[in-house]
A = this chain, B = another copy of it.
C-alpha cells in the first residue's frame, strides 16, 4: 500500500502551504487519500505529490482554481487549448501593464500632467475670423465640429486664403448631456474677405479671459471647465461671455494623449 503522510509533511514535499492544501481539499481539487473519521486528520499518499506539483505550477502561472480543475481532468490533447486560453489572458495582462508603464513614465517625465490646471489671465486680442454657427447636442459635437471645419476650410481654400491662427470654438450655450445649443466654429484669417453664406466673417472683440490648457482626449476636458469656473468665482470675477476652446495642435496628426486644448472664459 502506498505510504501515507500528514499534511505538514506533504506540504513540505510539495511546497504548497497547509492552508492551500486544506482549501484544495474543501474545493475538491485535491482530496487527501484518506481522512481519519474520528480525528479529522488528513493523510496524503506520496503518489499524490505529482498532482500537487502540477497544481502548484499552474497556480504559479496565476491560473484560477476552476481552470486547473479542468486542466487536470482534460485529456492531454485538450490541455493545450486550455493553456492557450490562459496564455491569452496573461498576454492581455502584460499588455495592460506595458500601457500603464508608458503612462506613468510620461507622468514622471512631466510630459503629461496629473491635475495642474494652471489658470492664467489672458488678454485675447481682437481677431478677424471666418466662422460658421451650428446647433448640436453633446453626442453630436464631434461630428458637427468636423463638418463645420470642413465647410470653413473649403471656403478659405476657394478664396485662396490660409488660416492666420489656431482654430477655436465659441460655446454660445451650455451643452451637456441634457442640453443642446449653439456653437460657433471659427478660423482666424489675416484680413477680411467677403462672407459667403453660411460662412460669416467678423471681428472678435478684445477681451480678458481666465484660461487654462487641457492635455489629452477631448472628452476628458470637463475638469478644465470646472477648474475655471471655480477659479473665477473664488477670485471674485464674473463671467463676461461664452467660453471658447482653442485647438493648439492638429487632431489629425497628434496622438490623443498629446492633444492640447486651451479653454478661455472671458471675465470682468
Determine whether A70 belongs to the interface, using a CB cutoff of 8 Å to chain B.
Answer: no
Residues A114 and B230 in contact in the complex (CB < 8 Å), given A90-B101, A94-B97, A104-B61: no
Interface size on A, residues (CB 8 A): 58
Provide the residues of chain B in CB contact with A87, threshold 8 Å. 101, 104-105, 108
Counting every copy of the chain, the complex holds: 2
Interface set, chain A 209-268, CB cutoff 8 A to B? 220, 222-223, 225-227, 229-230, 233-234
Complex CA distance for A80 and B113, rounded to whole angstroms: 11
Determine whether A12 belongs to the interface, using a CB cutoff of 8 Å to chain B.
Answer: yes
In chain B, what residue has the closest Cβ to A62?
Answer: B100
Which of A49-57, A128-136, A146-154 contacts its partner?
A: A49-57
Complex CA distance for A105 and B83, rounded to whole angstroms: 9
Encode A85-104 as 1/0 by CB contact (under 8 A) with B: 01100110110011011011
Residues A2 and B233 in contact in the complex (CB < 8 Å), given A93-B97, A97-B93: yes
